[in-house]
Amino acid sequence: MPGLGVIVNVAAVIVGSVIGTLAGRALPQRLHKGVVQAMGLATLAIGAVNAVPALTKLNAADGAIGRFALLIFVGSLIIGAFVGEAFCIECHLENFGDFLKRKFVKSGTGDTSADAADGRALVEAFMTATLIYCVGAMTVIGSIQDGLGNPGILYVKALLDGTISLFLASTLGYGIALSAIPVLILQGAIALLAFFAGNIIPDIAITAIEAVGGTLIIGIGVNLALDTKLRLGNMLPAVFIAMAAVWILA
């Protein structure tokens, strides 16, 4: 059944987030910072595992792709950041997070500063989880395979995402569950495209997605581990720019 893998993946994110949110309430607040930093280090490792081998593969590719691999990689990040800043993608994501906050966060205290903190926490959780779940070769390849009737890769991704959701939600809260929305939209759209058009994305273009996407995931790890604020939402176009550049040269 085409699309079954997407459904299972979305369900795993929601279930893991609910369990993690409930478990997080049982943890003393003093433990949360250490857990967040540990998750940041783990996320750094996940990003590196994706980015480094993919960039090595691009650099070793034949023809123009191999010769210009580093230029494509760096150029995609720079141009992607420029485009993202110009359109203020992160602002729109934050506005979407504020919209979700108004829908799902109810505060009877009248404390606007507390409301703002809740909103920022919700946006951080939403954006962090969305980048982790939606950026990567497994997302694209798994969704294409699912659209072609083979959900196996997305079953594996569902197991990974569900586990990550549990740990992220235990520290960042229920905003992690809201990332199921872009997971459903993105993976569902790719699966639908694959169902009608077949496997149209070259493997080497998937590798470019993995290299740049893995780098953005490393950025997530930096934000979590060091409690800083890299504007990763504005760098999202870099993923698609890298894919398009390599696809053209392939």
Which tokens is 58 given?
């691009």
Percent of the chain with pLDDT over 90: 27
At residue 216, the pLDDT reads 87
pLDDT of 186 > 70? The answer is yes
For 40-44, what is the mean pLDDT?
83
Q: In the numeric block, which tokens belong to residue 177? A: 């569950």
pLDDT of residue 15: 94
How far is residue 115's CA from residue 98's CA, in Å, rounded to a whole number? 10
Give the separation between CA 103 and CA 101, rounded to whole angstroms: 5
Beta carbons of 83 and 237 less than 8 angstroms apart:
yes
d(CA 250, CA 244): 10
Kindly tell me if the per-residue pLDDT of 108 is higher than 50: no
Q: Would you state the pLDDT for residue 28?
A: 65
> For residue range 56-65, what is the model confidence (pLDDT) as tens digits?
999 999 999 9
Residue 107: per-residue pLDDT: 47
- E strand residue ranges, 77-214: none
The predicted model gives 158-184 an average pLDDT of: 84
SS3 of residue 108 by DSSP: coil
pLDDT tens figures, 193-246:
888 876 677 889 888 988 998 888 888 888 878 888 888 878 888 988 998 999
The residue assigned the tokens 């790719």 is: 190
Domain ranges of the chain: 4-249
The first and second tokens of residue 141, run together, are 């390849």
